Structure 1
């Protein structure tokens, strides 16, 4: 019976290893692991550890290592299929029925392994021959030691289009094509995929060669790096280069490093940092992230310092956000501009890269810094765009607690950026201070100013929210200067309330905020008819909550016209260049719809508050 690797992985994930081992061996909790005296050799001090998160046991004394299936076969002496059936029954999984075609495919995989193993031996031999002189010179320039060259299996593929075919003549042509070693084209003779390249084998977790990567040696050659295609042996989205070597090293160091390419992983290993892996020509996939999390909870991304490297890091962040779960995330190291790990090691030594790896940025920090630097932040529209981008990322997070914590942290950072604390004003004594009146009098509005505010409150403002915000600022004048930039933008956009806002800003300049002054309104202003719909105008609302509610109302008030203006501009550009701006229009419309939803939620929240107060 042939069981697919995917099915066996699912079985392992559904099995609690400590529960299986604990039936026949007494385990003691040790942090996140369990420990015991090893059952495979005599010892008095426990060196046998079981890790449920990573799904394996390991003895540091005799090097016994395996998963739940291996435990049943090695410790209890069960046949492989009996062990699988017992675990499957406990996990509620059905063992696949015998499938002759699956067995045939398994046999073919074994045959393809023979092809890749033979090709690897041939590539290694070529490197040592006269034809491999250029490849050996390149390795010398990279500073790779002989031990590293042997360990990673460097080889060489000659330029001849039929050289591999002749060397591996014992294998049929279809098998060479299916293994990815040869390319078949219509009406022409198949030819070798790898030619004139420095060759590197790609292994599975059992250390078997399943594919190859080749680096061009001719400076004019393209592409620079060439990988095997997907085959029955090789799925690049489910494979991490060097994982079979890096995983044992990661168990010792407690960290796993993800670099951009396999030459970077080899450079780190050459410098003594052996727990490095690399994706294979694709952005980091969900399957690869899960592979990393089986080794460590917080892998470190260490991508190049150029723009492409930073974009790759952000693609990885976007991919991992929906997958975040407690204690599992990513950390990010930002390389110096224009440098990759190999460059940094050669120029400044391994200590320089270790220093960076010792203080990686968190995923949240990297997300904030990237979006903050993605566009200028000169106008309220720019800042509103930053907030929208941050919230888009937050919405991608599936875990509710993590999503809420990310939202709170990012919005706090945004508020600190958008509304920085104003510097303390220079103290100017007033006449009343000389008379012993140490509380600054409340500024009174002139009849003309009061009339201007009254007009705005009675309908000059374009909608209820604008009128309510003006009334809220009169009630909480200490919030006026906090929103000075946003209010100034609103005054420029809406001439009907411009003079009223200018008057509020002018009055706020004279407030003694430490004495909690208010604006003197003599007989007061007329309340907007919608007063009951806004909690910040309700006398019964906690002042702190009212101020936060008012801040959200100001934000909504400013964001909407900014988005409407941007959409109008994009629509105008669409008439001149339809293809160039349709995506921009779509994005702006989506953001406008999201803003309208926020406005609706804001209104519903007020309605709920009314119902509670009336009941």
Structure 2
């Protein structure tokens, strides 16, 4: 018996092609696909490419899928190859049954009916009745070749004309209803009305190019402006994408990048302009089923949306939907059109190069997700920043792949600590002057340092000392996180370690949202984290320095460690910023009147005093550490 197409599709989906072909061909990764020497002809330069669901040799022209490869390389018949692959995939081959035979026959009948209807409506577009629709399509910039390629048509007035036209082909009203072309007439038993009338018709095809339904656009003021056919035995709106059959071939051939646009006309205009990888959902938000179909074609599609508020909302919905589905092998990029412009508007005004620039500026999911979540957030207050940080960690936790979730959490929180902190306006350097009331200001006497190292080297060693104390005693971050985030450390290993420490602490201070046990705030766990994120050399650069302060040793007492941390914080923060920090802390003490606020005032006062005395914090020998 003929096997059901859905079974064959499932078998192909469960048979990764690269591992199957890799048993016989040495393959190497080449961008999004694999490359090797063709097993069907003798060649020295690889021209055999393996994609997600097909292979192609550009040398001899051999082309096929998992079933075809098994037949060709093992000398098996079609049925034997199916049995071999089904056994490996754990699939049971469907057994013939009257119900299955009837279902397959009915599906073939529906495809035939839909094809006949499409041809009838395509002919009608070129009659006097369809002239307004043809004029509309030409006014939108579509060529006659494009109109024919997409088989665009005109539905007619809807008074039974379609049924009458198809009746000589033996197509009955019942079949038209099953295909979604008619619907029961209210109050008239056994009578049907056309589903589409007075609409431009867009045939909708499945990934294999078979017509499964239609979309229609009204030319008047009627609502809805766009209308899709109803669900049928061959059409599921949430599983179907407009233009996928054409885009799939263009992407596989390397002619285009898969772009997800918003509607029928966007897809058609993009194809006409040379962007043959364009597809669109059917008037609704993207669904997980549609993303699965897209990822079967390419692992890195681009979602292209309008830059207005509606486009941002659509992007936010899509990012929320797609997070649990992404993996190291499949993701999504986001491109934004200029506000108020569709793809055809942009291309008509500035040419295909303008849309190419939009695609080139597409953001990866992690970057777009942050921007979308930050939109409109009140990040000027501690409460707003804390809520935003919690939401970022929760978003990363929705990713099913735990290693990828960890990477997203780090990337999102790193960016948070780099950008979400309130920026203070630049302050002039502190200059002693007169106090209020005219009393002259007398600075505290300055004690000369024991050894006055070069200024740039001194600051670098102070940076190392602060980081060394933090790395050795990461529990400090419970108290000093906010202050640590304010210090401007040099670019390179210092700033990378600062961002990693803050993100690591934030991820462990938050509620567990990803079903992963959160380790304690100890140095061993921190070391594992830094090693896993490629910062082991940066850590060695800090901890390998000579002359580090006593507070950086593992056996330093907690009070001693805190004193040392705030000491170096003061040197790095600077006098003007410390004065401002101290004034803020004093106001917080008046408001909160708790031990934490009092401790902060004391620590900042001590740090400011040490700075004014001219100390460097390196008097005990840390200045000897090499840069």
Using the size of structure 2 for normalisation, the TM-score is: 0.70
Distance 1:419 1:468, change over 3 A: closer
> Which residue does the alignment assign to 2:48?
49
- 2:210 is aligned with 1:208: yes
Q: Name the SS of the counterpart of 1:301 in structure 2.
A: strand
Q: Distance in 2 between matches of 1:418 and 1:408?
A: 15
Structure 1 residue 111, shift from structure 2 partner: 0.2
Q: Distance in 2 between matches of 1:299 and 1:123?
A: 33
Distance 1:64 1:515, change over 3 A: farther
- 2:301 is aligned with 1:299: yes
Q: Distance in 2 between matches of 1:485 and 1:390?
A: 31
The answer to which of 406-415 and 472-481 deviates more is: 472-481
Q: Distance in 2 between matches of 1:396 and 1:259?
A: 25
> Which residue does the alignment assign to 1:576?
none
After superposition, residues 326-337 of structure 1 pair within 5 angstroms as: 326-337=328-339
Q: Distance in 1 between matches of 2:583 and 2:261?
A: 43
Contact 2:217/2:226 (<8 A) preserved: yes
Which of 142, 148, 153 lines up with 2:140 in the alignment? 142
- 2:448 is aligned with 1:437: yes
Contact 1:156/1:197 (<8 A) preserved: yes
Structure 1 residue 269, shift from structure 2 partner: 0.9
Q: Name the SS of the counterpart of 1:54 in structure 2.
A: coil
> Which residue does the alignment assign to 1:94?
92
> Which residue does the alignment assign to 1:183?
183
Q: Distance in 1 between matches of 2:444 and 2:348?
A: 69
In structure 2, runs of 5+ residues without a counterpart are: 433-440, 451-477, 484-558, 619-627
Structure 1 residue 255, shift from structure 2 partner: 2.1
Structure 1 residue 339, shift from structure 2 partner: 1.8
Contact 2:302/2:333 (<8 A) preserved: yes
Contact 1:2/1:102 (<8 A) preserved: no
Structure 1 residue 105, shift from structure 2 partner: 0.5
> Which residue does the alignment assign to 1:14?
14
Q: Name the SS of the counterpart of 2:411 in structure 1.
A: helix
Q: Distance in 2 between matches of 1:29 and 1:379?
A: 51
Contact 2:205/2:242 (<8 A) preserved: yes
> Which residue does the alignment assign to 1:113?
111
Which of 236, 259, 264 lines up with 1:262 in the alignment? 264
Q: Distance in 1 between matches of 2:380 and 2:481?
A: 27
Structure 1 residue 194, shift from structure 2 partner: 0.8
Which of 351, 375, 390 lines up with 1:373 in the alignment? 375
The answer to which of 76-85 and 298-307 deviates more is: 76-85
**RMSD of aligned C-alpha atoms?**
3.5
Q: Distance in 1 between matches of 2:103 and 2:326?
A: 36
Distance 1:107 1:138, change over 3 A: same
Q: Name the SS of the counterpart of 1:305 in structure 2.
A: coil
Q: Deviations over 1:144-198 (max 9, x none)?
A: 1111111111100112332222222232222111111111255333211111111
Distance 1:279 1:435, change over 3 A: closer
- 2:170 is aligned with 1:159: no
Contact 1:38/1:48 (<8 A) preserved: no
Contact 1:254/1:296 (<8 A) preserved: no
The answer to which of 356-365 and 103-112 deviates more is: 356-365
Distance 1:378 1:172, change over 3 A: same
Contact 2:380/2:422 (<8 A) preserved: no
Structure 1 residue 469, shift from structure 2 partner: 11
- The count of corresponding residues between Structure 1 and Structure 2 is 489
Q: Distance in 1 between matches of 2:99 and 2:386?
A: 58
Using the size of structure 1 for normalisation, the TM-score is: 0.71
> Which residue does the alignment assign to 1:227?
228
Distance 1:509 1:165, change over 3 A: farther
Structure 1 residue 335, shift from structure 2 partner: 1.2
Q: Name the SS of the counterpart of 1:168 in structure 2.
A: helix
Q: Name the SS of the counterpart of 1:240 in structure 2.
A: coil
Contact 1:18/1:50 (<8 A) preserved: no
Q: Deviations over 1:187-237 (max 9, x none)?
A: 33321111111111111222111111111111x111111111221111122
Contact 1:197/1:214 (<8 A) preserved: yes
> Which residue does the alignment assign to 1:613?
none
> Which residue does the alignment assign to 1:236?
237
Q: Name the SS of the counterpart of 1:512 in structure 2.
A: helix
Q: Name the SS of the counterpart of 1:263 in structure 2.
A: helix
Q: Name the SS of the counterpart of 2:354 in structure 1.
A: helix
In structure 1, runs of 5+ residues without a counterpart are: 440-464, 519-615
Which gives a bigger RCO, structure 1 or 2 (Cα 8 Å, sep 6+)?
Answer: 2
> Which residue does the alignment assign to 2:314?
312
> Which residue does the alignment assign to 1:248?
249
Contact 1:432/1:438 (<8 A) preserved: no
Structure 1 residue 357, shift from structure 2 partner: 0.8
> Which residue does the alignment assign to 1:460?
none
Q: Distance in 1 between matches of 2:586 and 2:381?
A: 11
Distance 1:79 1:384, change over 3 A: same
Q: Distance in 2 between matches of 1:321 and 1:279?
A: 18
Q: Name the SS of the counterpart of 1:33 in structure 2.
A: strand
> Which residue does the alignment assign to 1:71?
69
Q: Distance in 2 between matches of 1:387 and 1:318?
A: 16
Q: Distance in 2 between matches of 1:104 and 1:488?
A: 82
Contact 1:332/1:362 (<8 A) preserved: yes
Structure 1 residue 115, shift from structure 2 partner: 0.8
Distance 1:493 1:412, change over 3 A: farther
Q: Distance in 1 between matches of 2:119 and 2:281?
A: 24
Q: Distance in 2 between matches of 1:387 and 1:412?
A: 10
Q: Distance in 1 between matches of 2:52 and 2:443?
A: 73
Distance 1:381 1:35, change over 3 A: same
Contact 2:306/2:342 (<8 A) preserved: yes
Which of 494, 497, 510 lines up with 2:592 in the alignment? 494
> Which residue does the alignment assign to 1:601?
none
- 2:424 is aligned with 1:426: no
Structure 1 residue 311, shift from structure 2 partner: 1.5
